[in-house]
Amino acid sequence: MKNKWRILKILVTVILFGFLLSFSLKRFNNARMENVSINMNQGKTPVYFIDEKDIKDLVKQYNPTKKIGDVKIPELETKINENPFVDSANVFMNLNGNLNIDIKQRVPVFRLSKKGKDFYVDEKGVEFPISKNFSYPCMLVMGDVEASEYQELGRLIEKIDKDDFCKKYFIGIKKEKGGYNLLTSDGHFKVELGDLENIDFKVQGFKTFVEKYLVYQNPQKYKKVSVKYNNQIVTTLNPYFKDNDSMLRNAPKIEIVKTEEKPVQLLAATPVKTEATPEPKKEAKKADVKKESTKPKTTEKKSPPKKSTEKKKETSSKPSSDKKKKAKVIVE
């Protein structure tokens, strides 16, 4: 009998508890939703792509009656996650009947201009559009960058942002002919990186170039500084810089004159020796021939070798001028 009474008591308590629970749940579901709390989880760099008003409008769509029991929490959560500016979202209801929404927005690493379209790329390599309400200051990247390079390119930009030296010099990245170039703020030159391998070593090479050479020169002197080669820095001069213009034009001329003067002197010296030796013979002939009066004939015979020497000089000078013209084209 005692066991029966115990079982009966348990059954009665369970029924009463179930009745009270159903009654409280029904009352709770029919209650009006008092508050909607939206928490935008911000990191070190705050972003404002999403407005709280937009999220509240979504809540109204999924709860038109404003009752707690009519809120479709799973559907609302998936809808918020479909927003391209949202990295992750969590929607839940507390015991007080308040709806809580935690949202983490995407943070751009760089802005990519590709095939006439502009969009952001986050640290995960996900593309998302540019917002009309908010513009995030980040590195601008131009060129046909492949999606597989997004994360590696993001790591390069992260290193630039953390380094005060790089952050001062580099303002953009451009991909040209399969290689990357860093655009600088000081001067009109660009830094050629090549591929994205050994980035630390390449950036360190540019630092040494700036500290040892560029500090004492005008940055506009250079058009390009290449650090893509191993243990080597190659610079290209700016042809529109005034000092470079004189240097590019005068330096090759000096080298060409030095190499061309020697053969010209040799060609001019050989006929002089032949003319110097027969001079005594000419005087003797003149003494003997005075009686015969054949002076015009001797002059006619002597004139052709002089013309030949002049032709030799002319022919020797012509190739030098032609060579000078070719060298100018190569230098330019």
Mean pLDDT by 10 residues, the chain (332 residues): 72 74 60 82 87 88 79 89 94 84 94 94 94 91 93 91 88 91 83 89 88 84 88 84 56 36 38 42 42 41 44 40 34 30
Phi-psi sector, 115: left (phi>0), alpha (psi -120 to 50), beta: left
As its CATH architecture, domain 108-237 has: 3-Layer(aba) Sandwich (3.40)
The helix/strand/coil state of 182 is strand
CA–CA dist 243, 240 (Å, integer): 9
Contact 235, 194 (CB under 8 A): no
pLDDT, position 89:
94
Q: Which residue has the tokens 């009309």?
A: 132
Q: Which two tokens stand for residue 59?
A: 């809540």
Class of domain 30-105: alpha beta
pTM over 0.85: no
**Vertex 145 angle, CA 48 and 107, to 5°:** 15
Q: Which two tokens stand for residue 323?
A: 């060579």
Domains in the chain: boundaries: 30-105, 108-237, 242-331
Q: Do domains 30-105 and 108-237 have the same CATH topology?
A: no
